[in-house]
Amino acid sequence: MSACLRPENLEDALASLSERPYRILAGGTDVYPADAAAVGWGKPGIDHPDTLPILDVSALDALSGIRRFPDRVEIGALVTWTEAIESDLPAWFDGVRLAAREVGGRQIQNRGTLAGNLCNASPAADGVPALLILDAHVRLQSRSGSRELPLVRNKTAPRPSTALAGAPAIPRQRSPLEGFITGNRRTRLRSDELMTAIIIPSPAADARSTFLKLGARRYLVISIAMVAACLELKEGRIRDARLAVGACSEVAQRLKGLEARLQGVPAVEAPDMVRDEDFASLSPIDDVRASASYRRYGAQVLVRRALDALTCSETARRRRLDTPGRSEEAGGRGPGAPGGPEDTGCRALGEPAHPEDAERQAPDAPARSEGAGRQALGAPARSEGAERQALGAPARSEGAERQALGAPARSEDAERQALGAPARSEDAERQALGALARSEGAGRQALGAPARSEGAGRQALGAPARSEGAGRQTLGAPARSEGTGR
């Protein structure tokens, strides 16, 4: 089995990395699935002697916590998605909070880290667009020094910052033209380096952000397209705009052309400013989740929705801020609260609050039926037969449907009439059931009626009555003389 180290201070971790390459383990939510996939395809796994040894950094206190400075916020490399959700950062951090809720289930959010999401460098990494719109940089540290890189290739140089507490006092280099993420699962992290922090320059106090994701289902799904947006508004106009699209190219991209065109535009007009050419730089792929054209279209829709969510009226915003217990400094928002991150992404669009919040608040509440869901979306309710067909199940007979609804079963004639078919005779019904046809007498007895005489029966059929002699001959008896009869 390959070696595994778990240093307790940053200096020891950097010393180990300077001696040989290691596979970094923080939360493990990407490492272990990747190992299972490798073993499944017959490739060496973690326990194979030829694989890189593990360097477990989960005990490094210097990499934990979120620190606020006058000009920036530093997120330690061990900060989890749950910690990001529960942070008290202002409204400009809402986009990251919303993205954090889209990362796996709650167990993954409790273990997975933001830094690990960036180092994994998946094109569908939910954290990348949300941090990209905040001009986030990453700090990479080794024994020989540290450097700060923007998430993607950018001409804007990183802002100055101090070294993370507990790190050696070493020179810092800035690489303004280099981006940390260079492609699908590719980064500029060297084998002797460790990401120690994510650095976010402090936006304006009134900046607000959001994050929207398109997937094949609501939970535990890889993105088809995702969008993050951050706006600064002043007197009803856009003072600054930042927009990023993920899962539509190898590396998430900012929409620089649209950002420039939105400067000074009235906020209410922002969604109408989106054009097809704004997405020309994207290079979406066709795969099992979606076609390239659908991804591109989905990204446009999400951008419009994000702008619509962030440019809501000042009246609505102030009403949210007037809720007791929330202040302007905190953006008047918090996870699970009205006007919180879920409102930015959902309620501003006329949709219910984030479903996960509903589960956190009322775990025992019953789920809505499909009919209720369709009504909530303004669609007519579907019949049971349509629902069964939509689910791939065979349609049920009317009788089965009536029983499912608690109604008494209808007779076959009633069902045939409901279908527009003529009623069948009793004999035809008996034959259909495999029974012999019954005589009229047996039929009358079955109904509790007295048997009819032959004459009455002939009259009922419209035939003339027969004489007694004819009747006796029919029965095989000799005719009687008049005297005998009398």
The CATH code of the domain that includes 249 is: 3.30.390.50
Strands 253-254 and 66-69: unpaired
> Lowest mean pLDDT: which of 105-119, 277-291, 323-337, 371-385?
323-337
3-class SS of residue 200:
strand
Evaluate whether residue 463 is within a structural domain.
Answer: no
In a domain, 60, yes or no: no
Q: What is the pLDDT of residues 311-321, one digit of tens each?
A: 975 434 544 44
Within 13 Å of residue 334, how many CA atoms lie on the same side as its CB?
14
Per-chain mean pLDDT for the chain: 75
Average pLDDT over every residue of 172-179: 59
Q: Report the Cα–Cα distance between both ends of the chain, in Å, rounded.
A: 120
159 pLDDT tier (thresholds 50, 70, 90): very low
Handedness of CA 169, 171, 175, 180 (dihedral sign): negative
Residue pLDDT, tens place only, 399-444: 555 554 555 555 555 555 655 555 555 555 555 455 444 555 544 5
Strand partners for 172: 146
Q: 0.75 cut: is pTM over it?
A: no
**Residue numbers of the domain that contains 238:** 204-311
Q: Which residue matches tokens 């019949």?
A: 383
The residue-averaged pLDDT of 293-318 equals 84
Asked if residue 283 belongs to a domain, the reply is yes
Query: Per the domain annotation, does 67 fall within a domain?
Result: no
- Res 162 pLDDT > 50: no
**pLDDT for position 259:** 98
Is the pLDDT score of 336 beyond 50? no
119: DSSP letter: H
Instruction: Give the separation between CA 176 and CA 274, rounded to whole angstroms.
Output: 29
Burial of 245 (0-12, 13-18, 19+ CB in 10 A): buried
Sort 258 into a burial class: Cβ within 10 Å, 0-12 / 13-18 / 19+.
buried
Looking at the structure of the chain, the number of domains it has is 1
Q: What pLDDT sits at residue 46?
A: 86
pLDDT class of 45 with cuts at 50, 70, 90: confident
In a domain, 389, yes or no: no
Which pLDDT value is given to residue 286? Answer: 95
> Residue 445 pLDDT more than 80?
no
In a domain, 258, yes or no: yes
Residue 86 has pLDDT above 90, yes or no: yes
Q: What is the DSSP letter of 433?
A: T
Residue 426 lies in a domain: no
Categorize the per-residue pLDDT at 450 as very low, low, confident or very high, splitting at 50, 70 and 90: low
Does residue 187 sit within a domain? no
Q: What is the β-pairing status of strands 186-187 and 172-174?
A: unpaired
Q: What band does 197 get if pLDDT is binned at 50, 70 and 90?
A: very high
Inform me whether the pLDDT recorded for 127 exceeds 70: yes
Confidence label for 293 from pLDDT (cuts 50, 70 and 90): very high
pLDDT of 471 higher than 80: no
Residue 36 neighbours by CB under 8 Å, 6+ apart? 45
